[in-house]
A and B are shown apart, each in its own frame.
Chain A
């Protein structure tokens, strides 16, 4: 008996077919040039995969968490540069599912359903792990907000149609003064700056965003003033399990590539050395375990609002797993590993320990959760 429904398996199969046609063959070249694969958005338009989490009433596919997990794994298997484009668009879309008004959803989701992509703008040069140090400001002026500041490392920033931007409406309030806004592409004063060239996920688009007296309707405020940090945390909780799902896809690809080379090389009576066999076994075991944790977190994401710890665990386990598996794969396959798609997987893997909160931040989330729970038990005298 399969753990997945027939429909989920059908969608997974379709994703695999799409990836085999549009992602895998082009991945190496886009990795080499670092160009953004605009063709991919066109190819994905019909299947509405970028709208897979969006409710049907807004024109989306309304996939459940596990179905999304299967799709994300297949995209990452093909190329996590391109997978990141999909994942980051969902990162910029997901919070609206929870906190958007019907009008906001209609506008924002409509943009995605019609072939656009989203971006989430939180990070700034001085605000990385310390998200509360955001300096971008939003000042209310009549029926508008005026935004000023600079965002960096914004995935999809150069190509998004809609953005969710975190800015401070009250600098004196620190974290509690942050608010979230919908900003549309083409807003006067809203421009794209430097494009980053990266170690991995090179075909994904990572840019600086400049906001200079950018005016947006006051109705683009998401939630209330001061909700920004809460929304950012909710967004990251939602975004971490998908990163883990992608990590699983990448690691699975690394093992497949090792197997492909090994079965070509060791034929007939020759088997790979036992040490190599054991490494493969350990790598595969790690992938399987990480997938279960990722799917567990995706299921919780569908059913509860308090899953921050499981979300962090899935990302920590998945991110560290894919770094370790791909590093071992390169070492194990020697010169072949260093010159084939396996080396790309290792470069791509590094970001999985960094984005959507570094794995150090995940450890903090988990440890604080543990300590808080323990303190509560102590108070109850349990």
Chain B
């Protein structure tokens, strides 16, 4: 076992940190205030090859591997959670297209997605009681020319900015058993993006419901494997990418709280010197470290071609319990100063919460973990 990044991985991670300092840190506060989509930063990410890291050379990607991808997400997240969210959702879409898309859609979208000219959105979430159930479930009907989609995807990230959506659906003929997935161009008639939804944090990343109203797509829009496989694998990778955000944001919070505690004097000494304050910082740093180890281990499994879904679920489950707490406790170390918006921690508090959501019941990690135990 080797827990060190390779030299190449370290170089790419370093470039991500430098990128974040140069391009993200100057805009992160205003982006949080205005909720403006960071168009230039996304273009710059493409220019630095970050949008093709996880894709194969054949697709025009960097083929840098998933560990590298995770390291970059963590590095970017230390400076800006929103941009990492945009990148992750985009990557889930391009990953699904690369792995299961027809030649036609690969050719049409992958080069422009890598160049940052077309943003992708991976839209899976629905508001029914179970996947494929409920009045708003996205349903596909086979026609002679292809498929017709109807229904609503809820809380789709990158919605509105995306040029292409990867959309999961259930087949009308065998509802709700047969899950399928489609590549839908945003310009297709009947794709209606709802009003932008205000989010607690990650405010540069747009979120909206997307309605599919008699959207006609060609045969080539259907992704090859069954929908369940596409969903499970892509979500398991997405969960790891999101965990990298949590770890990056969490570490940024802990680091800030520690340096604040070293200069904040109460009772005649830096509050850092109080054992109870050290315990708060130490618990957070321990949780963050444990999560990071489990995360990079799972990412290595991906690169090794091993099953990683259970490990991904464990990382998700762990961070659902302890992720947001990293910032709850970092803010606590700073007391009143951890609560005012001209300090960075409130933003990190709001951002990290968005990386630890569990969209039950379609997205609960416990089942996969439990089923894996002997």
Is chain B found bound to chain A in the same assembly?
yes
- Check B266 against A331 for contact (C-beta < 8 Å): no
- Check B353 against A343 for contact (C-beta < 8 Å): yes
- Check A339 against B197 for contact (C-beta < 8 Å): yes
Cα distance, A273 to B366, chains bound together (Å): 11
Q: Which residues of B contact A200 (CB under 8 A)?
A: 339
Cα distance, A133 to B155, chains bound together (Å): 49
**B: interface residue count bin:** 35 or more
Q: Tell me which of A152, A272, A323, A334 has the highest count of chain B C-beta atoms within 10 A of its own C-beta.
A: A334
Q: Which residues of A contact B357 (CB under 8 A)?
A: 330-331, 334-335, 337-338
A354 to chain B, nearest CB (A): 6
- Check A331 against B328 for contact (C-beta < 8 Å): no
- Check A265 against B127 for contact (C-beta < 8 Å): yes
Whether A332 is near chain B, meaning CB under 8 Å from some CB there, is yes
- Check A199 against B336 for contact (C-beta < 8 Å): no
Q: Which of B315-332 contact A (CB under 8 A)?
A: 320, 324-325, 328, 331-332
- Check A332 against B360 for contact (C-beta < 8 Å): yes
Whether B368 is near chain A, meaning CB under 8 Å from some CB there, is no
Q: Which of A259-301 contact B (CB under 8 A)?
A: 265-267, 270, 272-273, 275-276
Q: Residues of A with Cβ closer than 8 Å to B?
A: 123, 126, 128-130, 133, 152-153, 196-200, 206, 265-267, 270, 272-273, 275-276, 323, 327, 330-332, 334-339, 343, 346-347, 350-351, 353-355, 358-360, 363
- Check B339 against A338 for contact (C-beta < 8 Å): no
Q: Which residues of B contact A129 (CB under 8 A)?
A: 266-267, 271, 335
- Check B336 against A270 for contact (C-beta < 8 Å): no
Whether B154 is near chain A, meaning CB under 8 Å from some CB there, is yes
Which of B20-28, B184-192, B340-348 binds A? B340-348
Cα distance, A273 to B336, chains bound together (Å): 38
- Check B200 against A276 for contact (C-beta < 8 Å): no
- Check A358 against B335 for contact (C-beta < 8 Å): yes
Q: Which of B344-374 contact A (CB under 8 A)?
A: 346, 349-350, 353-354, 356-361, 363-364, 366
- Check A197 against B340 for contact (C-beta < 8 Å): yes
The residue that A334 contacts in the complex, of B129, B328, B360, with Cβ under 8 A, is B360
Cα distance, A119 to B277, chains bound together (Å): 29
The residue that B155 contacts in the complex, of A199, A272, A336, with Cβ under 8 A, is A336
Whether B147 is near chain A, meaning CB under 8 Å from some CB there, is no
22 contacts between A and B (CB under 8 A): A128-B336, A130-B266, A197-B340, A198-B339, A199-B339, A199-B340, A199-B346, A265-B128, A272-B361, A327-B325, A334-B155, A334-B358, A334-B363, A335-B154, A335-B207, A339-B198, A347-B349, A350-B338, A353-B332, A354-B339, A358-B335, A360-B276
Cα distance, A137 to B332, chains bound together (Å): 29
Whether B293 is near chain A, meaning CB under 8 Å from some CB there, is no
B170 to chain A, nearest CB (A): 16
- Check A338 against B199 for contact (C-beta < 8 Å): yes
A69 to chain B, nearest CB (A): 25
Whether B265 is near chain A, meaning CB under 8 Å from some CB there, is yes
Whether B95 is near chain A, meaning CB under 8 Å from some CB there, is no
Cα distance, A346 to B311, chains bound together (Å): 29
The 8 A CB mask of B274-312 against A (1 = contact, 0 = none) is 001100100000000000000000000000000000000
Q: Which residues of A contact B201 (CB under 8 A)?
A: 338
Whether B109 is near chain A, meaning CB under 8 Å from some CB there, is no
9 A-B pairs with least C-beta separation: A335-B155, A334-B359, A270-B129, A199-B346, A343-B200, A130-B266, A197-B341, A273-B361, A334-B357
Q: A327-B325, A334-B125, A350-B339 are in contact. List 5 more A-B contacts (CB 8 A).
A: A327-B353, A331-B324, A331-B358, A338-B357, A354-B338
- Check B320 against A275 for contact (C-beta < 8 Å): no
Cα distance, A152 to B340, chains bound together (Å): 12
- Check B200 against A275 for contact (C-beta < 8 Å): no
- Check A123 against B361 for contact (C-beta < 8 Å): no
- Check B129 against A327 for contact (C-beta < 8 Å): no
Whether B64 is near chain A, meaning CB under 8 Å from some CB there, is no
Q: Which residues of B contact A196 (CB under 8 A)?
A: 340-342
A40 to chain B, nearest CB (A): 22
- Check A323 against B338 for contact (C-beta < 8 Å): no
- Check A323 against B335 for contact (C-beta < 8 Å): no
Q: Which residues of B contact A128 (CB under 8 A)?
A: 266, 335-336
Cα distance, A75 to B315, chains bound together (Å): 39
B313 to chain A, nearest CB (A): 13
- Check B200 against A346 for contact (C-beta < 8 Å): yes
Q: Tell me which of B129, B154, B280 has the highest count of chain A C-beta atoms within 10 A of its own C-beta.
A: B129
Closest to A261 in B: B127
Whether B133 is near chain A, meaning CB under 8 Å from some CB there, is yes
Cα distance, A350 to B339, chains bound together (Å): 8
Cα distance, A351 to B349, chains bound together (Å): 13
Cα distance, A346 to B253, chains bound together (Å): 17
- Given A128-B336, A198-B339, A346-B200, A276–B266 Cβ distance below 8 Å? no
Q: Which residues of B contact A270 (CB under 8 A)?
A: 129-130, 133
A206 to chain B, nearest CB (A): 8
- Check B332 against A339 for contact (C-beta < 8 Å): no
B240 to chain A, nearest CB (A): 18
Cα distance, A314 to B332, chains bound together (Å): 18
Closest to B134 in A: A265
- Check B320 against A153 for contact (C-beta < 8 Å): no
Cα distance, A133 to B342, chains bound together (Å): 24
Cα distance, A265 to B346, chains bound together (Å): 31
B138 to chain A, nearest CB (A): 16
The 8 A CB mask of B23-52 against A (1 = contact, 0 = none) is 000000000000000000000000000000
- Check A347 against B341 for contact (C-beta < 8 Å): no
Cα distance, A334 to B266, chains bound together (Å): 39
- Check B361 against A351 for contact (C-beta < 8 Å): no
Q: Which residues of B contact A358 (CB under 8 A)?
A: 332, 335
The residue that A338 contacts in the complex, of B128, B129, B353, with Cβ under 8 A, is B353
Cα distance, A238 to B325, chains bound together (Å): 29
- Check B340 against A198 for contact (C-beta < 8 Å): yes
- Check B207 against A354 for contact (C-beta < 8 Å): no
